[in-house]
Amino acid sequence: MTDDYRRRIGKLIRDSRQHRGWTQTQLADALATSQSAVNRMERGQQNLSLEMLARIGEALDSEIVSLGTSGPMHLRVVGGNPLSGSIDVKSSKNAGVALLCASLLNRGRTVLRKVARIEEVNRILEVLGSIGVKTRWLNADNDLEIMRPELLDLDAIDEHAARRTRSVLMFLGPLMHSEDNFELPYAGGCDLGARTVEPHMIALRPFGLSVKATAGSYHATVDGRTAPARPIVLTERGDTVTENALLAAAGADGVTVIRNASPNYMVQDLCVFLTRLGVRIDGIGTTTLTVHGRTAISADVDYAPSEDPIEAMSLLTAAIVTGSEITVRRAPIEFLEIELALLEEMGLDYSRTEEYQAANGHTRLVDITVRPSVLHSPIDKIHPMPFPGLNIDNLPFFAAIAASAHGATMIHDWVYDKRAIYLTELTKLGARVQLADPHRVYVEGPTRWSAAEVICPPALRPAVVILIAMLAAKGTSVLRNVYVINRGYEDLANRLNQLGAQIEIFRDI
């Protein structure tokens, strides 16, 4: 190895270790070596075999170096230029995943239109395929057919795929209607701190589901004689918790009332889909849902999940931070109104069309045109709230927006244990971001963005925030190991290139 390669690899090891939240001693323990050896590796002062690099990558869940095209994907970004043009918002990642899980309730043929071909969907499809569900892409428009067999082979579940997505938790609701005993691997997904599954258990116990966590799996048993005796009150107004309760209620006999339910976009999409399966649901879009369940669901259903408000916010942020005029088409306005009201207060110049209906017949869409604006910091802190408040997943984008505005802004990410910490990565690109605690950051702008090489944060939205900042930074930046972005966005780099961005996809030699 040359000294330059040793130093570059050492930097990647150090950044990967820090993103994992490990000390050098913890990495040394995982590698059965010493802390001083890890220190030498990170300083580029030790030769490393391919075997050792592979062991380091496995320990940190981040491939450091790869051969051929099977390794991690990286992005090279030439920034500092304005974007222009129009772009359509793709279908919702979170709705698409929920609908794939909901398809387990249906013994008929399910067709979902324009499903986002993202890594999160791929993992769910791998899990479904491993237990006997037949899936196939029908055309280039990403229409997807799902056929569930009468009997599922849960013993054959793809554990590797299941552990790479937290969405596998939403198998609990539908599977309890066909299985008395089953196991699911521990859920994975974004590294956002300790996100307990207990709210899911509280929602599903009234249906007779009992879950014990042992040896890396959830062991579920179902008492089919148990039914909710009174309304289910969710202790957490979470999206996936509400979806799990809906899936359990949809396949249960009788009427179930769910209170403190999330009325967010993916929950509404799931409700509309379930009505197409013949399940009556009253209160769609509110925090109280009344579900008239059906014990036998067998319908040929054709459904188009709505557009993704988080992707829409990503594209709007790219326009704002790069000082560009862009039209974001097919934006679900009901789930962006608070964000736009806040941006308008900050000085954003934008316009929007009259509303029109999405293909699901329920969601309201608009086209939004953003123009270059001089922004100032808001009077109050920026914080998320359950819908209809500012969306939790849209909060990270305001870090890049605040860094582009005049003045100081406090961003309070109270939901996740450590997602706010990842926003401090913007400092590598010239932003002034100060961490107050694991939930709060202070951002001072405006920023003179500068190019840098950054390893991708392990959380989806902060990772996209880094990419957007790179679009504004003059010079050439590198964003390494972008798998987490591919979990939630389909072909994002090439779609941004159609607006005039210069993003090259590459892999290690």
For residue 352, give every residue at least 6 positions away whose Cβ sits within 8 Å of its Cβ, in sequence order, or none. Answer: 331, 333, 340, 366, 367, 368, 369
Q: How far is CA 80 from CA 117, 188, 482, in A?
A: 29, 36, 21
Q: Quick check: 286 pLDDT over 50? A: yes
Phi, then psi, of 486 in degrees rounded to 5: -70, -15
Pairing status of strand 217-222 against strand 181-185: antiparallel
Per-residue pLDDT tens for 228-242? 889 999 988 889 999
Q: What tokens does 211 get?
A: 């879950």
Decide: helix, strand or coil at residue 138.
Answer: coil
Mean pLDDT estimate for the chain: 89
Per-residue pLDDT tens for 422-446? 899 999 999 999 999 989 999 999 9
Q: Quick check: 1 pLDDT over 50? A: no
Cβ pair 279, 297 in contact under 8 A: yes
For residue 417, give every residue at least 6 positions away whose Cβ sits within 8 Å of its Cβ, in sequence order, or none. Answer: 192, 193, 194, 195, 438, 439
Q: Quick check: 219 pLDDT over 60? A: yes
Per-residue pLDDT tens for 95-113? 999 999 999 999 999 999 9
CA distance 40 to 10: 8
Q: Which has the higher per-residue pLDDT, 488 or 65?
A: 488
Decide: helix, strand or coil at residue 29.
Answer: helix
Average pLDDT over residues 175-195: 69
Q: Which has the higher per-residue pLDDT, 134 or 9?
A: 134
Average pLDDT over residues 500-507: 90
| Least confident range of 108-112, 215-219, 222-226, 438-442 | 215-219
* Residue with token string 């981040």: 62
Q: Quick check: 188 pLDDT over 80? A: no
Decide: helix, strand or coil at residue 366.
Answer: strand
Residue 193 pLDDT = 39
Identify the H or E element spanning 18.
Answer: helix 3-20
Q: HSE (CB half, 13 Å, CA atoms) of 375?
A: 33
Pick from 158, 148, 166, 144: nearest CA to 104: 148
Identify the H or E element spanning 35.
Answer: helix 35-42
Q: Which has the higher per-residue pLDDT, 506 or 393?
A: 393
| Least confident range of 169-178, 214-223, 330-339, 375-384 | 214-223
Q: Residue 59's pLDDT band (boundaries 50, 70, 90)? A: confident
Helices 239-250, 265-276: inter-axial angle, 10-degree rounding? 10
Decide: helix, strand or coil at residue 101.
Answer: helix
SS3 per-residue string spanning 397-464: HHHHHHHHCEEEEEEECCCCCCHHHHHHHHHHHCCEEEEEECCEEEEEECCCCECCEEECCCCHHHHH
Phi, then psi, of 466 in degrees rounded to 5: -60, -45
Q: Quick check: 399 pLDDT over 70? A: yes
Average pLDDT over residues 143-166: 89
Q: Which has the higher per-residue pLDDT, 225 or 4?
A: 225
Q: Quick check: 195 pLDDT over 50? A: no
Q: Please report which residue ranges of 43-118 form alpha helices under DSSP H.
A: 50-60, 93-102
Q: What tokens does 387 get?
A: 């819908």
| N-terminal to C-terminal alpha carbon distance within the chain | 14
| Least confident range of 136-145, 160-169, 353-362 | 160-169
Residue 191 pLDDT = 41
CA distance 465 to 99: 27
For residue 328, give every residue at least 6 positions away whose Cβ sits within 8 Å of its Cβ, in sequence order, or none. Answer: 86, 87, 89, 312, 315, 316, 319, 367, 368, 369, 370
Its sign, for the CA torsion 164, 113, 313, 493, is positive
Pairing status of strand 349-352 against strand 301-303: unpaired
Q: How far is CA 147 from CA 115, 286, 327, in A?
A: 16, 31, 38
Pick from 329, 324, 372: nearest CA to 347: 372
Q: Residue 64's pLDDT band (boundaries 50, 70, 90)? A: low
